[in-house]
Chain A
Amino acid sequence: MKKTFPIGGVHPNDNKISRNCAIEVLPLPQTVYISMAQHLGAPAKPVVAVGDKVKAGQVIAEPGGFISAFVHSSVSGTVKSIAPRKDISGNSMTHVEIAVEGDEWAEGIDLSDTLVTEIPTDRAAVLAKIQQCGVVGLGGATFPAHVKLNPAPGSKAECLILNGAECEPFLTSDNRIMIERSKEIVIGAAIMKMVLGGCPAVIGIEENKPEAIAAMQKAVAELAYEGISVMVLKKKYPQGGEKQLINAVMRRQVKSGGLPISVGAVVQNVATSLAVYEAVQKNKPLVTNTLTVTGDCLPVEKQHNYLFRIGMPLSYIAEYAGGVPEAAAKIVSGGPMMGRAIANMDACTVKGSSSLLYLSEQFTKRKEASACIRCGKCADACPMGLEPFLLNKLAQNGMTEELEARSVQDCISCGCCQFTCPANIPLLDTINLAKGQVLGIIRARAAAAKAAAEAAKAATQK
């Protein structure tokens, strides 16, 4: 009996049209623009100056805080400018502009294909390597990997879960790397397993990717590391959500407001595992990732999986892939359920870019909303066990206390409620907004409590 998470979830058509397109390497553009905010947390601080010559893999920005990450140049060339530029949402962010000259890599980076199967044993050195190579979680949230792999003292990892669910429809980049780079992923898993103190590792893959499952099972068997296994999961969205995957694999629920480590789980995406392998075994920083060019209005022969360098403009990739199809009404970065519509095609790829998705008007246009008939479908579909119809009403009336009492902060923005709503009510729009407000209130309260505690401590010390 294949496992899945028990609460909620929906079954959108998976549309994995580009599943058989092998990964192609994109040629270099003339210029790349590397964003300083490619990870969750504080933006990185540039350490290069205009006019500097940089090589691919060289550090160009340092972390701007504890939750932050190194950023490396993805190409060799000259730094042309360090200036604000618009990201995919049209908001300004500092970008380092590099004019490409040749393709020269920084020293000490192993670009060969040879597998390095020996697992290092120095935990601190491996963690430092992961941090220095700027590895972040590539499942979507881009949380710095070294922070997650180094649980706070007192908590112990009991299981490392590799997320190969790729539950978002259309996306196939994880599927392709699991087929083509399966051994590297398994070695990456073994490294992370060592870092976490030797807990077992489970690679969770949804049943709709049989080739990936076969490839990963073969790699696990051939490499024969201890305690790594592949678990085939039933197909259900949002299985790739951290808390859902933990529930599916370990049958444990992370309580409201808790972190996965509280139930002994650490979840990393398969692409992150590949990045960890490249960082630790090959000394190669995270400057490339895989991206799917797909969509319902794109013929199969025009669909691709590309290996891109970070900082490539989306418009460049779109042009290389054969231009934007006429019927495309919306271009999305990420999957159709959780991705963001691209407002600016001149924006550049970042570490976490996973797709360029062309959706037709018929597929994407929102239908007119009608009144809520209280059918409860959204509450059935919510994988976090919330009541979206109620949260929506509360959010419209700005009742933040009630919203917090009903755990709006637990919403993972998966969009199941909106997907399933027969009245086409834009539930997620209002709930997301309310979530932001409530999280702001919770943070402010925590900060105030901390300040009060410190003041009390100072008073007693006197």
Chain B
Amino acid sequence: MNLTILWTVLVITLLGVVLAAVLYLVAQKFKVEEDPRIDEIEKVMPGANCGGCGFAGCRAFADACVKAGNLDSNFCPVGGNETMKKVAAVLGCAAVEQAPKVAVVRCNGTCENRPKINEFDGLKSCRVKAACYSGDTGCSYGCLGCGDCVAVCGNDAIHMDPATGLPVVDEEKCSACGKCAKACPKNIIELRNKGPRGMRLYVSCVNKDKGPAVKKACAAACIGCGICAKTCTKDAITVEANVAYIDFEKCKLCRECEAMCPTGAIHGVNFPKELDKEGIKARIQERNRKAKEAEAAAKAAAEAAAKAAEAEVKPVEKEA
């Protein structure tokens, strides 16, 4: 009986050794060469696997970075510049810095501003609603309020406000992965620069209809009047297809557009002080007055110069 045990142990041990050898040889033969940097990069990634970078998870992103050899077109919005510096260290190339971003809901259509004109009875989903018709309010561009953005958010960073019927972004939690922006069938949500200390200005409307039609549908919509674009001294605002857009790269947060907007469609958030509308308006008027004066002075000077030149020319002609 003892012999049986001995034999068993021996046979099993031998079998194990042989199979291990086979496994070792096969592993050597069919070895897949993988860049060790992929593992290293994956370790420094946030590991959220959110897909915000455009790849299916952090490992796919690491793979893409190593393959590209540089970081020109790859950026992890969740980890931000910190993570990208670490990735750059692994790859041995320069990190391309990007300002931290946050999802911004560009619609002012609260229940008060934008009254309902019919009731939607179908599946509570923005995509289904958008495919059916223009929506239950007079505005065919605004938020549909069914919360597709809320459903896709993996960070619990966006919620519907029952009072306004609009989604609200929790800036602390938002990782700017862009899932909500993709889910929104009306393209209302935009990823914008977070701004210094979170201060930023944006046009909270995307309605492309003409002024009177927009005004009828919503009390706080952008009517495309262009006052903001005229006011802006940084050339940051463009009005295209009856709706204004603030370029966050150029905006210097002076809040003049916000003060001048006749419908209140431009929102400034996280500013330490309340908006001093009158003060800013007075400042702009003063500036305009000075500009006008300067223009008039320049015109007068030019006219005087022209006259002087004419006077100078005339005697010459006479002599000739």
- Residues of chain A touching chain B, judged by Cβ–Cβ distance below 8 Å, are 84, 86, 89-92, 330, 340-341, 343, 364-366, 426, 429-430, 432-433, 436
Judging by beta carbons under 8 Å apart, are B123 and A429 in contact? Answer: yes
| Residues in chain B near residue A343, CB distance under 8 A | 117-118, 133-134, 136
Distance between A435 CB and nearest chain B CB, rounded to angstroms: 10
| Residues in chain B near residue A341, CB distance under 8 A | 121, 132-133
A-contact bits for B117-140, CB 8 A (1 contact / 0 none)? 110011101011001111110101
CA A84 – CA B213 in complex, angstroms? 11
- Given A430-B128, A433-B127; A91-B134 close (CB under 8 Å): yes
| Residues in chain B near residue A366, CB distance under 8 A | 121-122
CB interface residues, B 135-155, toward A, < 8 Å? 135-136, 138, 140
Judging by beta carbons under 8 Å apart, are B127 and A90 in contact? Answer: no
| Residues in chain A near residue B127, CB distance under 8 A | 433
| Residues in chain A near residue B131, CB distance under 8 A | 432-433, 436
B209 at the interface (CB under 8 A from A): yes
**Which of A84, A365, A433 neighbours the largest number of chain B CB atoms within 10 Å of its CB?**
A433
| Residues in chain B near residue A429, CB distance under 8 A | 122-123, 125, 128
| Residues in chain A near residue B118, CB distance under 8 A | 343
* B121 in complex: contacting residue of A89, A91, A330, A436, CB < 8 Å: A330
- Given A86-B134, A89-B134, A433-B128; A426-B122 close (CB under 8 Å): yes
Distance between A399 CB and nearest chain B CB, rounded to angstroms: 15
Judging by beta carbons under 8 Å apart, are A340 and B133 in contact? Answer: yes
A-contact bits for B80-120, CB 8 A (1 contact / 0 none)? 00000000000000000000000000000000000001100
Return 22 A-B CB contacts under 8 Å, by A number.
A86-B134, A86-B140, A89-B134, A90-B133, A90-B134, A92-B140, A330-B121, A340-B132, A340-B133, A341-B121, A341-B132, A341-B133, A343-B134, A364-B121, A365-B121, A366-B122, A426-B123, A430-B125, A433-B127, A433-B128, A433-B131, A436-B131
Interchain residue pairs A-B with the least CB separation, the first 7: A90-B134, A89-B133, A429-B123, A426-B123, A429-B128, A343-B133, A91-B134
With A89-B132, A432-B131 given, name 17 new contacts (CB 8 A): A86-B140, A89-B133, A90-B134, A90-B135, A92-B140, A330-B121, A341-B133, A343-B118, A343-B134, A365-B121, A366-B122, A426-B122, A426-B123, A429-B123, A429-B128, A430-B125, A432-B128
- Given A433-B127, A433-B128; A92-B209 close (CB under 8 Å): yes
Distance between B150 CB and nearest chain A CB, rounded to angstroms: 16
Interface residues on B, range: 10 to 19
| Residues in chain B near residue A436, CB distance under 8 A | 131
Judging by beta carbons under 8 Å apart, are B140 and A91 in contact? Answer: yes
- Residues of chain B touching chain A, judged by Cβ–Cβ distance below 8 Å, are 117-118, 121-123, 125, 127-128, 131-136, 138, 140, 209
CA A429 – CA B129 in complex, angstroms? 9
Main secondary structure of the interface of A (DSSP, over half): mixed
CA A91 – CA B213 in complex, angstroms? 13
| Residues in chain A near residue B134, CB distance under 8 A | 86, 89-91, 343
CA A433 – CA B125 in complex, angstroms? 11
CA A362 – CA B132 in complex, angstroms? 22
CA A436 – CA B127 in complex, angstroms? 11
CA A89 – CA B136 in complex, angstroms? 10
Distance between B121 CB and nearest chain A CB, rounded to angstroms: 5
| Residues in chain A near residue B132, CB distance under 8 A | 89, 340-341
| Residues in chain B near residue A84, CB distance under 8 A | 209
| Residues in chain B near residue A330, CB distance under 8 A | 121
| Residues in chain B near residue A433, CB distance under 8 A | 125, 127-128, 131
CA A257 – CA B127 in complex, angstroms? 25
CA A453 – CA B133 in complex, angstroms? 38
Q: Name the residue on A nearest B132 (C-beta).
A: A89
CA A366 – CA B122 in complex, angstroms? 8
CA A27 – CA B118 in complex, angstroms? 29
CA A75 – CA B159 in complex, angstroms? 52
CA A89 – CA B130 in complex, angstroms? 10
CA A84 – CA B210 in complex, angstroms? 10
CA A91 – CA B186 in complex, angstroms? 13
CA A92 – CA B217 in complex, angstroms? 14
Distance between B221 CB and nearest chain A CB, rounded to angstroms: 15
Judging by beta carbons under 8 Å apart, are B128 and A91 in contact? Answer: no
Distance between A395 CB and nearest chain B CB, rounded to angstroms: 10
| Residues in chain A near residue B122, CB distance under 8 A | 366, 426, 429
Q: Name the residue on B nearest A88 (C-beta).
A: B133
CA A430 – CA B126 in complex, angstroms? 11
Q: Name the residue on A nearest B127 (C-beta).
A: A433
Distance between B141 CB and nearest chain A CB, rounded to angstroms: 10
CA A86 – CA B209 in complex, angstroms? 11
CA A340 – CA B132 in complex, angstroms? 8
CA A243 – CA B140 in complex, angstroms? 35
| Residues in chain A near residue B209, CB distance under 8 A | 84, 92
CA A84 – CA B214 in complex, angstroms? 13
CA A364 – CA B120 in complex, angstroms? 12
CA A426 – CA B124 in complex, angstroms? 10
Q: Name the residue on A nearest B134 (C-beta).
A: A90
| Residues in chain A near residue B117, CB distance under 8 A | 343
Q: Name the residue on B nearest A331 (C-beta).
A: B118
Judging by beta carbons under 8 Å apart, are B133 and A430 in contact? Answer: no
Distance between B285 CB and nearest chain A CB, rounded to angstroms: 37
Distance between A7 CB and nearest chain B CB, rounded to angstroms: 26
Q: Name the residue on A nearest B136 (C-beta).
A: A343
Q: Name the residue on B nearest A361 (C-beta).
A: B121
Judging by beta carbons under 8 Å apart, are A90 and B128 in contact? Answer: no
Judging by beta carbons under 8 Å apart, are A90 and B140 in contact? Answer: yes
| Residues in chain A near residue B121, CB distance under 8 A | 330, 341, 364-366
Judging by beta carbons under 8 Å apart, are B123 and A91 in contact? Answer: no
CA A426 – CA B146 in complex, angstroms? 15
| Residues in chain A near residue B135, CB distance under 8 A | 90
| Residues in chain B near residue A91, CB distance under 8 A | 133-134, 140
CA A90 – CA B207 in complex, angstroms? 14
Distance between B128 CB and nearest chain A CB, rounded to angstroms: 5
CA A92 – CA B208 in complex, angstroms? 11
- Given A90-B133, A91-B133, A91-B134; A430-B123 close (CB under 8 Å): yes
Q: Name the residue on A nearest B138 (C-beta).
A: A90
Q: Name the residue on B nearest A364 (C-beta).
A: B121
Distance between A91 CB and nearest chain B CB, rounded to angstroms: 5
Distance between A356 CB and nearest chain B CB, rounded to angstroms: 16
